[in-house]
Structure formats: structure tokens, C-alpha cells
Amino acid sequence: MSLPAMVVLGAIAMIEKTWVHGPRFSRVMGIGMTLYAAVILVHPAWAPMPFTVPSHSPVIVQSGEHHH
């Protein structure tokens, strides 16, 4: 999981635990996340992109492999 996603989920958990309306907020976030997951199942292109190695990063080639 990405660091920004962990920060957002941590903030949501903190709000749920400390805010006076935390239980209501928790239900709303749960419903929202469930709906978002259902949308991603139907339309995977709407999912956030996974972390990829930048093109300028060196590529490690294992011994025995030859790339031309």
C-alpha cells in the first residue's frame, strides 16, 4: 500500500476515534469505501495506479540474462 493511502486511512481512524460524531463518520466512510470498491470491481481503470519504478531508475539484470 502507498504511504499517502496509509496517511489518509490513519487520519480517518483518528477522526473516528476522537470526533464526537465519529460513529456516524465511521458509517459514512464505510459505506463510501464499500461503494468505491464495488465501482473498482466493475471499472478497474478507476482504481489508483500502483507504484511503478520511474523510467530513469537503473534496472538490475540477473546474471545469465542477455538483453539487446
Residue tagged 456516524 (cell numbers): 24
Domain positions in the chain: 3-46
Q: How do residues 9-61 score in pLDDT, each as one tens digit?
A: 999 999 999 999 999 999 999 999 999 999 989 988 888 766 555 566 565 65
The pLDDT value given to residue 27: 95
pLDDT of residue 45: 83
Which 3 state secondary structure label does DSSP give 3? Answer: helix
Q: What is the pTM of this model?
A: 0.58
44: helix, strand or coil: helix
